Amino acid sequence: MNDAAMIWNLFAGVLIGLAYLSAFAFVAGLTLRLFLYFKTPVPLKIVQTPGPKNAPGVLARMAGDALIFPNLFQADKALWLGAWLFHACLLLIFVRHSRYFLYPVPELVIDWQAISIYAGFLFPIPALYLLWRRMASARVLFVSGLPDFGVLILLTAIAATGMLVNYYARAYLVDVKAFILGLLTLTPVAPPQHPVFIAHFILVCLLLIYFPFSKLLHAGGIFFSPTRNQIDNVLYPRYVNPWNEEVRIDQNR
Amino acid sequence: MKRFLILMLLCITVIMLVAGCVPEKPVKDGKGELAVTIDREFTTPATHSPLEWWQTHHPTVINSGDIKEQDCLYCHQVDRSCNNCHGYVGVRKIK
């Protein structure tokens, strides 16, 4: 084996190690954070009005919050448009990428490929808008930290390298899928020797490691928000203090 | 701890089961159910050389209109040398 092949094998091993490390950090971190959210006591009803009166109402409210961001729409129309497009593009891009994780690939995913391609082209626009907004407004800039910019830049870099791999410096999809399926089935094979794909892959690994420890966790945290997931039935049941002393009432008096 | 170990064992079992269902990647004249085969009577056209470049860039060439999709079918049989790869990576199948 010559030196170049040896260095490549070593690099491929490091890349595979990084992939498993990032998968572990993502799954373990996400599980731990969501478990902590789940175990956090919520002793009081703090439903945001108008609150839903039953469980289906809560489901509808949460679905609305997660899919169309009605509160943001009322607060800031331009930000709503940017944020909604950003999230919709992310969803479509995720659907498009699911073909690398699934075998056989569902027909629905294949049918959505054409729409998802446009989401890839569109994605940088809302991402750059959100980045610009953080810098253009003094008030927003004041409350923005390095992680706020870092995440947007990381996502934009992932999108940029993804578009390069897909359109300008194409990678051989069969090798890409064999690499991903190899990782998923614990039978790893060497990644494609394609610098832009490797850059794309490393950036995604960094995102996975960072995800559970960042503001990106709002993706899961939104469902644990007590102002949004509680039923507004505070006046319906009778609450009895569990440590009250029992009072004997003489019925004959 | 016991629950965690059971969960881990369950996950590994599921991964092993899934791994058993995933076929070998499609390779020209390779092995496995997705192997790409082309009848010996056809000689490889100059456009297909080098093969690695062609495998990666043939969608671009077809989308540019230089070669039509139907032209491929003079030599390629859809099931044995088109849709096994297309199905594997989840792109539109050739009809």
Residue B15 belongs to some domain of the structure: no
Of the candidates A61, A87, A50, A49, the one whose C-alpha atom is nearest the C-alpha of residue A223 is A61
Report pLDDT for A80. Answer: 96
Cα angle A218, A224, A226; round to 5: 120
| Phi then psi dihedrals of residue A190, to 5 deg | -65, 145
Chain segment B48-79, per-residue pLDDT in tens: 889 889 999 999 999 898 889 888 888 898 88
Question: Is the confidence at residue B19, as pLDDT, over 80?
Answer: no
CATH number (1.20.950.20, 3.40.50.620, 3.90.120.10, 3.40.50.170) of A11-229 reads 1.20.950.20
Flag whether pLDDT at B18 surpasses 80: no
The answer, yes or no, to whether residue B37 has pLDDT greater than 90, is no
Flag whether B2 is in a domain.
Answer: no
Residue B5 predicted with pLDDT over 90: no
Q: Is B10 domain-assigned?
A: no
Residue B57: partners with Cβ closer than 8 Å, 6 or more residues away: A170
pLDDT of residue B80: 87
ipTM, 2 dp: 0.86
Residue B16 within a domain: no
- Is the pLDDT at A251 greater than 90? The verdict is no
Q: Which residues of A touch B84 (CB under 8 A)?
A: none
Interface test with A, best of B89, B91, B93, B94 (most A CBs within 10 A): B89
Q: Which residues on A lie below 8 Å from B16 (Cβ)? A: 186
Tokens describing residue B65: 């209109």
Residue A253 binned pLDDT confidence (cut-offs 50, 70, 90): low
pLDDT tens string A102-126: 988 999 999 888 888 899 899 999 9
Cβ of A97 under 8 Å from any chain B Cβ?
Answer: no
pLDDT tens across A176-187, in order?
999 999 999 889
Question: Would an 8 Å CB–CB cutoff place A177 in contact with chain B?
Answer: yes
Report the candidate in A16, A175, A110, A19 with the shortest Cα–Cα distance to residue B24: A175
Whether residue B13 lies inside any domain: the answer is no
List the one residue out of A123, A135, A140 whose CA is nearest residue A82.
Answer: A123
Domain boundaries, position B47: 24-89
Distance CA A71, CA A23 (A): 33
- In chain B, the residue whose alpha carbon lies closest to the alpha carbon of A173 is B89
Domain count, chain B: 1
Q: Which amino acid is at B38?
A: I
* Closest residue, chain B, to A99 (C-alpha): B90
Interface probe for B, chosen from A32, A112, A168, A173 (most Cβ of B below 10 Å), is: A173
